[in-house]
Structure 1
Amino acid sequence: MSSLQGCCTLCSILMLVGGNLAVLVKIHQDSINGTEGQSVLLPVSYGFAGAPQYPMKIVWNSSNMHDELVTCSVLKCSLDAGGVPRLCSALTFYHDTYRNRSKLFPTNGSLLLSDLRLSDSGVYSVTFKPSRQTFHITLTVHEQRSTPDPPGGNLAVLVKIHQDSINGTEGQSVLLPVSYGFVSDPQYPMRIAWDSSNMHNELVTCAVLNCSLDAGGVPSNCFAQTFYLSEYRVRTELFPANGSLLLSDLRLSDSGVYSVTFKPSRQTFHITLTVHRQCSTPEPPGSKNPDLTHSYVIGICSSVSLLLLFLLFCCIWHRGAARQQKRRIIKQQQVQGKI
């Protein structure tokens, strides 16, 4: 075995181990509150500290379930200069229980849960494989009031804003949470329009044509027609059953005041969004994240062990080669002595 071949073998071994440490993950909130019947986003982001190895697997689990909630195989991503994914191709599989009310975003790993139930409360875990980094988010789902506090006695549509100030991270996703209910027979179509202080035109317009209502007048399974402004078409999604707006691939310029209006009642509510700059890479090893530090320690120990095994193999191989050479020399001397 030549020294060049030995170096190549060693590099290959170390890459197999070190490759597990190339995915750096960040959890933006470890505790989330949601409201029954509404939507909530469990925010995660990741980046690559080295050359990515595909496929990469993202798995979400819940303390309420034995089986995996969502499994996503990321096949390929476009990366920016900091190693942060922008566009990803992926295959995603949902558990039957969550198939119609969950959505995973391959570019950041975040999980959107819709039509929340009180039983959804629990600890949600996301694991990135093969690095085997696992992170936890605690979700608490609160009971939906029968009707929100009415802004006026003659309004049939009652709207509730769950947060009037939201923080987001550049390149990631954020949910602007809203909900509404009916205190009398609904009048269709009902129009939901989102505006932004950064734009002159309406960002999203949704015409709700029909909904199923529970005993408290809370809608579900709505049939609607939604129209998006061309600049936001590929990175926004409005949920007709509650009026919430999902913004993806956030930019610093998205910061501003977002207004949602329900017509014909003409109720308007405001949410301030602040988008923070994306760090080039999430927190490095040795930071406050014990799971990530643990992964790095395992990787380093494994690399050192493999290096020692490789050196031991080289010593044994060279010793055996030296013995074979010595035998050949003795044999040649014996043959020469006979001659």
Structure 2
Amino acid sequence: YFEQYCIFSGTSPLCCIAGPCPAGGVLAVNMTIPNTLLRGTAGGEALLSVRYNSFSLDPPVIKWQLKREKSITVVQSIGTDIIGTPRPEYRDRILVFENGTLLLHNLRLSDEGIYDVEISITDDTFPGEGSITLTVDESISKPFIHMDTSSILELSENIVLNCSHDNGTRTTYRWFKGGKPLSNVTRFTLSPDQKYLTISRVVMADDDLYSCSVENPVGNMSSLPLRLTVYRRSSLYIILSTGGIFLLITLVTICACWTPSKNWSDLSQCAALFTDDGLPKIPERNGINSVTSLYILQHKVTLIYSLVLLQRTARYTINEHSRDSSVQAAANQTTH
């Protein structure tokens, strides 16, 4: 914005900008720029608006340039008549108005930058000059939350939520839990750009609706809420894991201790097939019966060895559950 003023040398005026001048004053173009910062959307339009005042009736010479290492002339015109042929990247995309305003159609990301405008008139000694900064961004597409699974057991180590979207530049992210901004919880960790949310050591209180919003200089969009379901280990974990393992142990035991030629009603006899170290015993027999017994024993050894592994797995499962329950109880006691 240029104020109206006159320049004097002693008592004699040297220059007057767009205002009534004393005798001997030199006229100059007075330019006004309503908005020096514009934010445009790719594919849209940008109106680089200027206004000028001059006492001359001659048409103005208008020149727009885009600042680069070497300035690029966007358009030059006398009034609204464009001089010469515009550069290929601006052809059919520019329009100049009588007051010097420039309209850019079908904006591209490469149009971003600082635009210098100069308006000069023959009778005026000094031209009017000004600058407008234009930013160009892509509109944001509808974001959505992506995660590997929407259901998880409590006390699981990590689950990652990703706020994804297809389009959008210069984006910032915000996360919501239960419709409210995400609270500052130490178990909630955001990536440097805040696009990824990591929940560590999941607890039952994390069972909720999660959503994210994406913003940039030309707009914002919000995702649909997505529920994260947290199951309590004490019910599902014991029923499916421990109960299933004991069922398999029972089936393997029955298969190991029964053959078509001999029906063992006492399953405790299975223990006689192993030494104290858990290794199978090899019976000492002669003749063909020894070969037959060894064949039967090989099948029993395979099945009963699986029984031993399942028993150890069940024991480990129960111990892990007891440890997790103790940790959770201690955490709840600390909270209260």
More strand by share: 1
What's the TM-score once normalised by structure 2's chain length? 0.32
What's the TM-score once normalised by structure 1's chain length? 0.31
